[in-house]
Amino acid sequence: MNDRLTVLEIAKMIDHSLLHPTFTDAAIREGCELARRYRVATACVKPYSVTMARDILAGSDVRPCAVIGFPHGNSTTGIKVIEAEQAVLAGAPEIDMVVNVGKVVGGDWDYVEREIRLINEAVVAAGGILKVIFENDYLEDAHIVRLCQVCSEVGVAFVKTSTGYGFVKQPDGGYNYKGATLHHLRLMRENCASAVQIKAAGGIRTLDDLLRARAAGATRIGATATEVILKEAIARGFPQE
């Protein structure tokens, strides 16, 4: 399976993540230029950076992607709808939205379903597609299964494991996260409708990480290590196109 992949096909699995809170405009511009150079699927930016990304990527086949309610999903539904709609209209046809994690953990599924549905409707009406971020580190398997069912019923384009910023307090008092685990990717693939794709994000730092996520059902990867991954694919002799 893997030896038939090309470097371009690997690149087209990647949303190049430019979401660190300290990123300056110069860093975002540099990241968008890298995304364009490597012809990845998208450059994933914060909402205020959409127009910059759109202008840098113009004329290429790389799309801007915007995050909504990021990273903790706690904005009101109305604000998330407006934020998502405005991002699409500003030039980001792909939207990654964080669920309200507290509502998921609390089992308020009517709220969760309504929010996802309203945001998806707004994004699709504006000409975009929606990816729903679960933030799996905070969730039990039962929550993930139910979210997959909700997203399948609503008909979103993708479900996504993590923001990469869902840090959980550890026994030693420090904070860390697991991100995209193979167990969670398989669980999501098994419990989503076939039309719903899976995006793995958080901890995908090498070509082998990407290939393992792909084997577990992911068709899109969120990564900051884009250049490392693609240079490794070239070095290992994957065909260019």
Residues carrying an active site annotation:
96, 160, 199
Q: What's the rounded Cα separation, in Å, for the pair 95 and 128?
A: 7
**197-201 and 129-133: which strand pairing?**
unpaired
- List all residues 6 or more positions away from 93 whose beta carbon is below 8 Å from its beta carbon: 63, 64, 127, 128, 129
Please report which helix (H) or strand (E) contains residue 69, including its range: none
Q: What's the rounded Cα separation, in Å, for the pair 219 and 146?
A: 21
Please report which helix (H) or strand (E) contains residue 50, including its range: helix 50-57
Assess contact for 180 and 213: CB atoms under 8 A. Answer: yes
Strands (E), the chain: 14-18, 42-45, 63-68, 94-98, 129-133, 158-160, 168-169, 175-176, 197-201, 220-223
